[in-house]
Structure 1
Amino acid sequence: MVYVLNVYGKPLMPCSSVIARLLLKQGKAKVKGRTPFTIQLLYKTETEYVQSLTHGLDSGSAKVGSAVSGEKGNIVYMAQIETRYRKARWLNRKNSMKKDRFSPTMTSKIHAHVREMKFVQTVLPISKTIIETATFDPHALKNPAVLTNKWLYQKGINYGYANTKAYVLTRDGYCCQHCKGKTKDKRLEVHHIIFRSENGSDEEDNLLTLCKTCHDALHRGEVALKKKGKKKGKLNHATQMNSIGIQLLKRTHAEETFGFVTKEHRQLMRLPKEHYFDAVAITTQGKEPTFKTSNVLFKKCVSYGDYQQTKGVRSEQVMPTGKLFGFRKFDKVQYKGNDYFIKGRMSTGYAILMDTEGNKVDLKPIPKFSKMKRVSARKSWMTIPKIILSFYSCAT
């Protein structure tokens, strides 16, 4: 399957690899992109008839499924995108005071969805987009008993208190749990046993009452607590999905569908549980799919720039961010007939390579820059095509 653009860069219907090879050989087209392979015509066509294509997007917090089908259920595109998570830095909180601001991680996840939608529209004539959204109830996921007793929604652990801080102070009897009042410091503060920067929870099991004297001494490393805290649960993805779905519908003109509909259609199609297969069920809207392509584009979002400038306890080692021997980190290269991405570079002329999932590839001897060829410069995502539909009959 080869994607085709007209002489003005407008997407047309894809063609077979045989036709694309003839067009390139006769000088009637040029290569526009390698992954996915896209050509652009060098002559004006008399007619530019295109079919009505539907883009289905299985939204997600960690992974996103994407697929495109025609009116008869012909699948011409599939992809799976792994979104990016940026670890909290805890040193740049001023911007968080701004109104209507998402965290860098949430902004990146929303942009990953929108960027995939725009990319598909650059290689295929999309006429309609359908997005599967989901709404999660974190309270019910944490405590399933609320599903049978609705009163528990209102009578939780903080019932009768202004907030969690007030509950913890009352629980601890308004007394420092370290010195028990020996410092005579009347100013009380609520401390995270496991620090928030270490993924500590905001729940009462990870909170403790300390006086300001003990609290300051603890952060200076002069005292230590013997109590065990609690890390955050696994509801962050559910919380993010509640916002991602709303933002996608606000920022696009897409139609909305729901997970239970997708599940029924996918099971009737007898497709395995994968994000790109969910997208197939979304885009076909119940029609039996006919796979015209056996390739799935696996993409992983990465940072657009190099944000780590230095390394070391006191940042005494400067990290090279420019080109080294003509290569940059995340450049796609070809080494011994296989495609990789650059994970690390050595000033001695060697490189550490990785796959699209960021896993280090152990190659011996260590690859040298002089023996590899750069396929494409670094982009905001790493893309590798994989053939996954060998058990289906795919017409091209």
Structure 2
Amino acid sequence: MVYVLNIDEKPLMPCSSVIARLLLKQEKAKVKRRTPFTIQLLYKTETEYTQPLVHGLDSGSSIVGSAVSDDKGNVLYMSQIEIRNDITDKMKQRSKYRRNRRNRKTRYRKARWLNRKNSIKKDRFSPTMTSKMNAHLKEMKFVQSILPITRQIVETATFDPHALRNPAVLKNKWLYQKGMNYGYANTKAYVLTRDGYRCQSCKGKSKNKRLEVHHIIFRSVGGSDEESNLITLCKTCHDALHRGEIELKKGGKKKGQLNHATQMNSIRMQLLKRTNAEETFGFVTKEHRQLMKLPKEHYFDAVTIATEGKGARFQTHQVLFKTCVSDGDYQQTKGVRSEQVIPTGKLFGFRKFDKVQYKGNEYFIKGRMSSGYAILMDIEGNQVDFKPIPKFSKMQRVSARKSWMTIQTIIPSVYSCVT
């Protein structure tokens, strides 16, 4: 399937690969975009008939699913976007370097706070929230640029962070689903029952009948109070563990954060405020997806939203996987004293995050060497180990770096016709 734009870059209905090949051969169209493959007509069309298309968006704070379907359930587009969650860590690191430099070089300056316009601006969102909302809006705008969308449906979710931490504050105890402690007096009672009222270290060999519940990761270092971080020990083993005489092999869990739940509340409000999208909810999507017998993937959730559970016929088997990255390299130097200069421009005609073709496959540049070699990675940021290390001279640049790394893959043919 090939996406088509008219001479004025207005999206039309997609065509088959055969038709697109003929138009390109007859020089009646030109290639507008490689991924996804899009052509633009070079002549005026008498009629521009389009069908009503629905864009379904599975919103999220980490991964977003997107799909387009017509009123008959024909799926014409699928994508999955991984949103940035590294902005806070990068800003903290920048702040650390900046404070270090200020203490070394400008200690005579008077300390100032809240002297940035953004820090005192009203109705301001954090850089992380701004990036996540813009990622949703950018995907919606991109889909509208290649397909004639008539409706938009967004799956949203609302959370009560205070109730998630303290379910006892709920007036309606059935507001959230039954948890692990349902039917038990407290978490301690559940853990004792789960472990069969038996020490999990000595298995009862110590003959000590006094049982205690132990935090695998200590609370003093951020250990969670959830059952996954608790274990039943007898008093003999518990005391020996705290003296350092024995060691547990089981891993624990640190306290979880509710950042994502809080962010989803804001993302929901902003998407509904800035667009004309309709709203749906996760429990509706889950029910429809299970009836359609589709696996749990974010782009399949988006397919379910776009088709509204009426059944899907996949006219395209291509899925676009996108990963949001920084728009540019802002770090100019490296080291505590900025002693190592980092080249941010082109090196041998290549930049970081450029998509390149090497040995018949597409990769992204993760690192560059002044000696003419490069470190390559996949769409998920995992380094691909090549022996010998790839040379710039043996790879071809497919596209320049953008704020999204994009690659196209094929879904299994078993889902080619799901009704």
Q: Structure 2 vs 1, CA of residues 45 and 149 (structure 1 numbering), >3 Å: closer, same or farther?
A: closer
Aligned: 1:326 with 2:327? no
Gaps in structure 1 of 5+ consecutive residues:
151-192, 202-229
C-alpha separation in 1, matches of 2:280 and 2:348:
49
Tell me the equivalent position of 2:296.
Answer: 273
What's the TM-score once normalised by structure 2's chain length? Answer: 0.73
Aligned counterparts of 1:337 and 1:361: Cα–Cα separation in 2: 14
Letter in 1 for 2:50: V
Query: Which of residues 123, 136, 139 in structure 2 aligns to 1:113?
Result: 136
Give how far 1:307 is off: 1.7
2: CA distance, partners of 1:101 / 1:356: 32
SS at match of 1:322: coil
Superposed displacement of residue 105, structure 1: 0.9
Separation in structure 1 between the aligned mates of residue 33 and residue 401 of structure 2, nearest angstrom: 14
How far the C-alpha of 1:148 sits from its partner, in A, is 6.6
Structure 2 equivalent of residue 56 of structure 1: 56
Q: Which residue of 1 aligns with 2:6?
A: 6
Aligned length: 321
Specify the code of the residue in structure 1 equivalent to 2:76.
V
Cα offset for 1:145?
A: 3.7
Of the three residues 309, 320, 324, the one matched with 1:286 is 309
The 8 Å contact of residues 110 and 247 in structure 1, kept in 2 or not, is answered as yes
Q: Contact 2:78–2:319 (CA<8 Å) still a contact in 1?
A: yes
Name the SS of the counterpart of 2:88 in structure 1: coil
Query: How far apart, in 1, do the equivalents of 2:344 and 2:417 lie?
Result: 43
Cα distance between partner residues in 1 of 2:417 and 2:362: 24
RMSD over aligned Cα atoms: 2.2
Preserved CA contact (<8 Å) 2:312 2:417: no
Taking structure 1 as the reference length, the TM-score comes to 0.77
CA contact (8 A) 1:294 1:394 kept: no
Distance, in Å, in 1 between the alignment partners of 2:22 and 2:417 is 22
Tell me how far apart the structure 2 counterparts of residues 74 and 127 of structure 1 sit (CA, whole Å): 15
Q: Which residue of the other structure, out of 343, 351, 361, is the alignment partner of 2:384?
A: 361
Change (3 A) 1:232 1:243: farther
Opposite residue 336 of structure 2, the aligned amino acid is V
Paired residues of 1:13 and 1:51 also in contact (CA < 8 A): yes
Query: Does structure 1 residue 46 correspond to structure 2 residue 46?
Result: yes
| Equivalent residues of 2:319, 2:411 under 8 A apart | yes
Partner of 1:175: none
Amino acid at match of 1:83: I
Q: Which residue of 1 aligns with 2:400?
A: 377
- Rounded to whole Å, the distance in 2 between the matches of 1:383 and 1:390 is 22
Asked if 2 retains the 8 angstrom alpha-carbon contact of 1:31 and 1:38, the reply is: yes
More deviation, 82-91/279-288? 82-91
* Residue of structure 1 in register with 2:229 after alignment: none
Q: Which of 130, 154, 164 in structure 2 is aligned with 1:131?
A: 154
Query: Matches of residues 153-232 of structure 1 in structure 2 within 5 Å?
Result: none
Q: State the one-letter code of the partner of 1:19.
A: I
Alignment gaps of 5+ in structure 2: 99-112, 174-219, 225-252
Among all aligned residue pairs of Structure 1 and Structure 2, give the percentage whose two residues are the same amino acid.
78
The 2-side partners of 1:393 and 1:387 are apart by: 11
- In 1, the alpha carbon distance for the partners of 2:340 and 2:417 equals 53
How far the C-alpha of 1:140 sits from its partner, in A, is 2.6
Shift of 1:231: 6.7
What is the DSSP-based 3-state SS (H/G/I as helix, E as strand, rest coil) of the residue aligned with 1:87? helix
Aligned to 1:189: none
